Amino acid sequence: MTDVAALVKDVEEFVRDVVLPIEDAHGGDVEAAGGDDLRRRLVAQADERGILAPHAPKDLGGHGLGMVDRAPVFEAAGYSVFGAMAINVASPDEGNIHMLDHIADEGQRARYLAPLVSGELRSAFSMTEPPPGAGADPTMLATRATKVDGGWLVNGHKHFITGADGAGFHVVMARTSGESGGPGGATMFLVPADRDGIEIRRHIRTQDRSMIGGHCEVVYTDVEVPDEDVLGGVDEGFRYAQVRLGPARMTHVMRWTGAAQRAHETAVAYAAGREAFGSRLADLGMTQQMIADNEIDLAATRALLLAACRELDDGGKASEATSIAKTFAAEALHRVADRSVQMCGGMGIADDLPVAHIAREIRPFRIYDGPSEVHRWSIAKRAVRRIAGSR
């Protein structure tokens, strides 16, 4: 059985001694820091220390951590915006490892999961499409897979596909029955990235810079996929995707809590050492309120996170709990980062401190894995059914 406290300590030391200096030297820009070459070096070092992919199954070299146990480990990695990449728990690979472990057959585990766990390959989860296709509403899925002898032909247009440039394979969500806007009819396909017909059209330039492989526009033209690379059941892709989506929301929370914690600690240390208006900034009431509010937001985020993780570990879908935790955390951690910038004044927007690039990286979390507004809509619908539906 894994000693989680010892694992957290090992990850903290690795992040502090090895990863943070690289992050800070390059302002949190992973491509400027070396991209995939950097990733491979860090993954090799993490593997030597026994901290690589701790959530992966034990038979493939991981620690097999459940959701509750992942939380402090992933937060420790997330203290650096490169830390999750360094121990192979970054999105989308972390979520794909989790999903493949639960769904993939033995052949798929050998061909796709094992090299993903070891860091030999990266992956992409290819679902989001430009309008009028799938986005926050996945039922709008327009990419289509047509059955042919021995397999499928995939045709479609995707965008915001994180990590697609340089990925070893894509998990492609495509419609195999029904029409866009209708329920069901989706299937997931495992597609090697060197397959004919895959075009990385461009990187969509976004404000965040720490996610390797970019956020890409991808076109699939008559891409051949054999039957053996269908992931899960045909026409059951939306159901199988839920294996990934709920836990992935929570691991996002874990990682960004680590980054927000670093921004907060940096700001508090700065305020405690900065003299202004006859006292330390940290002794001024307005600064103390920001410090206290940060502590509250961090504590509340962790409490909601753990509640959702316990429900997932107990076998529940945790749809409402993960929506609540993700929505609160995305906004609370943004507030923590923003207050931290404010406490540091001019230094808070300068490269001299990590606060500026942490705030830049955290802001998109309110969009990724479902905008806050979509989660609120879902939460409200459940509340109406639960309360008014019984009357």
Q: What are phi and psi of 280, to 5 degrees?
A: -70, 145
* Domain stops at, among 98, 118, 138: 118
Q: Which domain holds residue 148?
A: 123-235
Same domain, 382 and 242: yes
Q: What is the pLDDT along the chain (391 residues), one digit of tens a residue?
A: 789 999 999 999 999 999 999 999 999 999 999 999 999 999 999 999 999 999 999 999 999 999 999 999 999 999 999 999 999 999 999 999 999 999 999 999 999 999 999 999 999 999 999 999 999 899 999 999 999 999 999 999 999 999 999 999 999 999 999 988 887 899 999 999 999 999 999 999 999 999 999 999 999 999 999 999 999 999 999 998 889 989 999 999 999 999 999 999 999 999 999 987 888 999 999 999 999 999 999 999 999 999 999 999 999 999 999 999 999 999 999 999 999 999 999 999 999 999 999 999 999 999 998 899 999 999 999 999 999 976 5
Same domain, 149 and 282: no
Quote the CA–CA distance of 42 and 275 in Å, as a whole number: 39
Q: What six digits make up the tokens of 80?
A: 């650096």
Residue with the two structure tokens 């207050």: 339
Same domain, 281 and 367: yes
Query: What's the pTM value of the predicted model, to 2 decimals?
Result: 0.95
Same domain, 111 and 252: no
Cα-based distances in Å from 187 to 171, 198, 217: 10, 18, 20
Beta carbons within 8 Å of 95's beta carbon, 6+ residues apart: 125, 244, 245, 247, 248, 251
Same domain, 79 and 40: yes
Number of domains the chain contains:
3
Same domain, 260 and 381: yes
Same domain, 141 and 192: yes
Same domain, 270 and 366: yes
**Cα-based angle 137, 141, 142 (whole degrees, multiple of 5):** 145
Same domain, 255 and 375: yes
* Domain stops at, among 235, 250, 269: 235
* Domain stops at, among 118, 139, 168: 118
Same domain, 255 and 368: yes
Q: What six digits make up the tokens of 60?
A: 């493939």
